[in-house]
Amino acid sequence: MSPPANPAPHAAGATPRLRLLQSELPPVQALRAELAAGLVAPQAAIPPKYFYDDLGSRLFAAITALPEYTPTRTEAQIFARHAGDIAGAVGTATTFIDLGAGDCGKAARLFGALRPRQYVAVDISVDFLRTALQCLQREHPDLDILGIGQDFARGLALPGAVGDRRRLFFYPGSSIGNFAPDEAIVFLHRLRACGGADAQLLIGVDLIKDEAVLNAAYDDPLGVTAAFNRNVLRHVNRVLGTDFDVAQWKHVAFYDAAQTRIEMHLEASCDVTVRWPGGVRRFARGERIHTENSYKYRPETFAELLRAAGWNPAHIWLDERAWFALVHCRG
């Protein structure tokens, strides 16, 4: 996530059908206030959206290639195995709105079957999104592509350029798990409200499974997830002006069965004093900064959550080990 720039109606070098709007990002003062409040809280925390600067987005893409990171592989199996059913349920000519699009790869693999009328990619990591969309436009020169740099955790605001017919919200990768269940209901309810009468939702969620499998997915032996977690401190240094030394912080990730969630933290490996313009925080050795939750669900509990948010789950597809679920909902 970068501080907002002036709206860029056409990305340089792209055809006129690619537009990238980035006027919706919060002002840098708001980001600084949010980060400072998290750092001085009794349990220090950094919101997970700060993982995604340009390097963080690349590190996440690397995580999805790890054998231990099951959500991406199992979700891909579902798309491959049930492609025909998914296309039959969703239909064609949608306004395909990809929330947290990342490298846009998952959506692009569905274009052949779903033949969307317009592809709208929303992401907070604007530089990474721009590069991904420029590649996508070359591969799909006739597709109407719109990129939106936006922090949708604060509420999704779709500009007038987004088609208002047959809106399909695409929210894969179990990103919904970063919200606590009550926050997830509020978020999905807002989506429902801006979808219109014929709105649809295609959402992926990681399921409760063996703890060893879950723990390995968030603490891989190559240390890619550790690098992704620690990189958040470099991003915070740039935005808030902190003086974090990443070498002093250790990656910690574990499954909390009572809360059915993975927690990620950064743990101080010595006593550390962190300073930034207008603030200071002392961390004793062993003290942690909470950086992410990733909630896991049972299929029936997740369906209840969707109903509570105003969506009607119409189809649910699982991989062969029931490690991941893809749910298609109507409004």
Ligand X SMILES: C[S@@+](CC[C@H](N)C(=O)[O-])C[C@H]1O[C@@H](n2cnc3c(N)ncnc32)[C@H](O)[C@@H]1O
Footprint of ligand X (CB under 6 A): 49, 52, 57, 60, 64, 100-102, 106, 122-125, 150-153, 172-173, 175
Please, what is the minimum distance in Å from the beta carbon of residue 307 to ligand X? Answer: 23
Q: What is the C-alpha separation between 199 and 96, in angstroms, rounded?
A: 10
Residues sharing a CB contact under 8 Å with residue 242, sequence separation 6 or more, in sequence order: 39, 233, 236, 274, 275, 276
The CA R_g of the chain, rounded to the nearest whole Å, is: 20
Q: Which is nearer to ligand X, 57 or 248 (CB)?
A: 57
Please, what is the minimum distance in Å from the beta carbon of residue 231 to ligand X? Answer: 13
| C-alpha separations of 64 from 75, 129, 284, 329 in Å | 11, 17, 33, 25
Q: Which is nearer to ligand X, 59 or 274 (CB)?
A: 59
Q: Which two tokens stand for residue 11?
A: 């990305």
* Burial class of residue 151, CB neighbours in 10 A (0-12, 13-18, 19+): buried
Please, what is the minimum distance in Å from the beta carbon of residue 108 to ligand X? Answer: 11
Q: Which two tokens stand for residue 107?
A: 């959506």
Q: Which is nearer to ligand X, 99 or 240 (CB)?
A: 99
Q: Which is nearer to ligand X, 51 or 283 (CB)?
A: 51
Q: What is the C-alpha separation between 303 and 305, in angstroms, rounded?
A: 5
Q: In what order do the strands lie in the sheet with 288-295?
A: 249-256, 261-268, 288-295
Secondary structure of residue 257 in the 3-state scheme: coil
Please, what is the minimum distance in Å from the beta carbon of residue 57 to ligand X? Answer: 6
Please, what is the minimum distance in Å from the beta carbon of residue 270 to ligand X? Answer: 31
How many Cα atoms sit within 13 Å of 70 on the Cβ side? 21
Please, what is the minimum distance in Å from the beta carbon of residue 72 to ligand X? Answer: 6
Q: Which is nearer to ligand X, 107 or 268 (CB)?
A: 107
Q: Which is nearer to ligand X, 140 or 279 (CB)?
A: 140
Please, what is the minimum distance in Å from the beta carbon of residue 78 to ligand X? Answer: 13
Q: Which is nearer to ligand X, 240 or 268 (CB)?
A: 240
Matching residue, tokens 């690098």? 227
Beta strands in 80-199 (DSSP E): 95-99, 118-123, 144-149, 167-171
